Structure 1
């Protein structure tokens, strides 16, 4: 109990301890065993302990900061790995899309002289190119010129003193501010145009086409036309097949309707705006399941992209999006099952009706075969006689026609050979022209790719240089803040030393200065003499020794003593319950503040 609270009343005592304490107090009255407390030394110990605890706290804080920084750097490294894998894929997709667009525009040819849409598209592309070049000259070129001018001025200032007048520098600052205001106006204008274009695209109602593709999945024909328009010789069989199609459609329509109701309960964007939802989808598509710890990574990236949203909101949006995709997948699967069952039922129905038609046809053939057998035999005899007469006439005509056809075939073969030679010469010339065009086109594409590669490399070098300048600027700012912090710390230490010096001067001013008087120090005091005169009068009433401790009434008035005595009588003073009860009971008087320790162990 004493280890838990230094002010807890100690109830475990023994009689010999009281006797030893009494003897020590009795012998200490006339001896010099107890020396006065050295408060300065105690204060130094307390200060050392406090400083040690502060140092330990600082180490713990530094360790926490280092662990947090390490964790943050690890997460950022993993994000960079994901982006380094995603960036080439996006670049390839962008290059593929641009190449497809260029190839498509190059392959477009006008249908005739009246087809002006192709020329209008080409003119529009040239106008866009000129506008982009004019925008670059009006916005980007002034910034680069101002940057080059400032770099040149800074380079001159490194080798010269500040000899330029103040008005000259004010003009430079005004020019910089003017360029900043101009760039802000341009950015605001571009943002307004972006919002207007976005509203125009939304106004085209593309969402209807997107939703129509999903609705087309459930447009399954209830009863096929092959069953309705079929000529089944047995009406009962046709009615049973139609009823089977009805039951199949009703069963699947209920399932599709329930899934569509679930989709209609939530918005297509799950309650977010289109831009945020698109960024959310793109972030989830980057962190695939093959990446280790992909869920923690994309949740961290989503918290960085949407700092205004809590983790709970992001998780709810993720669950809503997963549920929507799961419902759409279910709807697609149900539709596919419906189509598969519909096709299987249709195939079985067609086979059944075909078998019924064959059986009915066989019955009819059996009835008609015997009736028309005689008519067929007579008809065949007449046809045989006519066929023999025709065969004789055909043999004569074939001989005449064969001679005529042979002469015509020889003339035709000769004409075809001459025509084939002319066609081959024309085809060779066309092939040569085609290869020349292909070669020129390959050279143009190679030159364009080289120019694009050079432009991208220049942009990347410029971005790298800017990043280096930004990093250097941040390092300089960090060094400046550290120097300011050190200066403040030195100023605080100097003030603390001045304060200690002033306190020491005050202590010296109020210190007690007394002359050394050994005789007076060792002599008896007046009070002691007055007590010694009356000592014989009170020898009988005086106790054997004086006790500087609590009286029995004071001890019994403490509730902790009474509770401990009751627990002891009950035999529970060594149990955990007794320790808990005694730790909760408070003393009748609160302890003095000077007995409390501020040290934390």
Structure 2
């Protein structure tokens, strides 16, 4: 019971049961009459209890409505999330179909190119591929016959059987046993096929792992990464190694730059690999290969530009991995993001390494070309040898300056990468702290809400108990007061009866005395004529003259001109007669009477502007 309901209950209860003022006493006194028994208005506690019950029912109805609204909101939210999943999966399905069509078109184009070359080796390879494709098609048809055909036949037989019999209980035991036996056979066959497919899947996976190890391909949770460090050719490139340079010192110094560049990027890669060694050495983030690949495919389906991307793919992951706790999924997500960051940084370093080597090779080629041209000129003009030496020194100085600039640039890039990594770690730490504070606030609000509910419930119980105690005390006081009132009213009634008796005796004596005096007066004024009682019933002379002057039509007109309904018109309405009958039966205030009266048409159709709206709510 809320505060408003409690105030309404107290005001109505006091106004209806606990009046002890003078007005209440006067109204109670007016109920007594001479010769009647004393009456005391009782307290209607049943009405009070019904009011309490009605308020409780209103509260329970509100709670049910709140629960239904909350349930509807959850269902709407769930439907919205599922609709978004469906849209994303539809896009992914379209992309996969397009990719499949592209691969098939490329394969057909490759076959057409092979046929156009008319090479015996390629023709033999194409023949083997065609044979292998036909074998795969036959195996797929055989697999379909062994798996789908029995299931479809059993389904068709069961459907026809249940269509013939309207109820399952009418089936005899023998057909049911045959059906169950056939179903068990199909299930056993399907289990064998599934086991065979699982064994073949494991064999293919093993062959793929051997193939990837042979070709230097690493698989980090469905992310295929070729060992680019082995693809980057270290040392002096071949196009630079055999270039001619007259100055051997300059040649050795310039070629050593490739070794320094390789050592620098190798140290950066080793440092980056040692920093993320815990991520690399944890295969598939502690999950199985199948689950890790499924999680990676799932995350890739949701583009980074999508709103609430993490919420959607985490909801999808929870649905697809019901046997994994949310903490495990979050941990695997963190490992996946760390691995992606590690691989992206590694690719950036390798690309930068390759770019720097190309720039250095181009620079060295141009430098050696300049030196060679200078040497040719100096061989022709010996007098300019000193100038040639100075030019070599200048070129050497340029190379050293360029090397220093490159070192500075590389240091700046390394510092930038380190700063970016620190910022990302700081941002991740802030996000974790924000999420932790948010969860703590939500937990605190939930605990506060439960404590408020508990305190409110205890307060309501205590208030009801106090009200019950107050009602009991007031009932005891009222009972004591009623006893005194009854005694007082008895005394007052006895006094009034005695006074009334004395008044009647005095009135009788006065009436006798008045009658005696009137009799004396009548004797004094008595008329001395004969008695003619019929003269009283006869008309007077003036009345007789007026009636003689009236005609027959004048006698039929009413005494006064009426401008309203007559009694005959009112009683001719069937609704009046039905209402009178219902009133005599005591049913004129019931719902049945209202329903009957609303269906009885009037004698004349009412005007549209005077249509009654009394019974609109009862229809």
Instruction: State TM-score, norm by structure 2.
Output: 0.48
Larger radius of gyration: 2
Instruction: State TM-score, norm by structure 1.
Output: 0.49
With a CA cutoff of 8 Å and minimum separation of 6, indicate the structure with the bigger relative contact order: 1
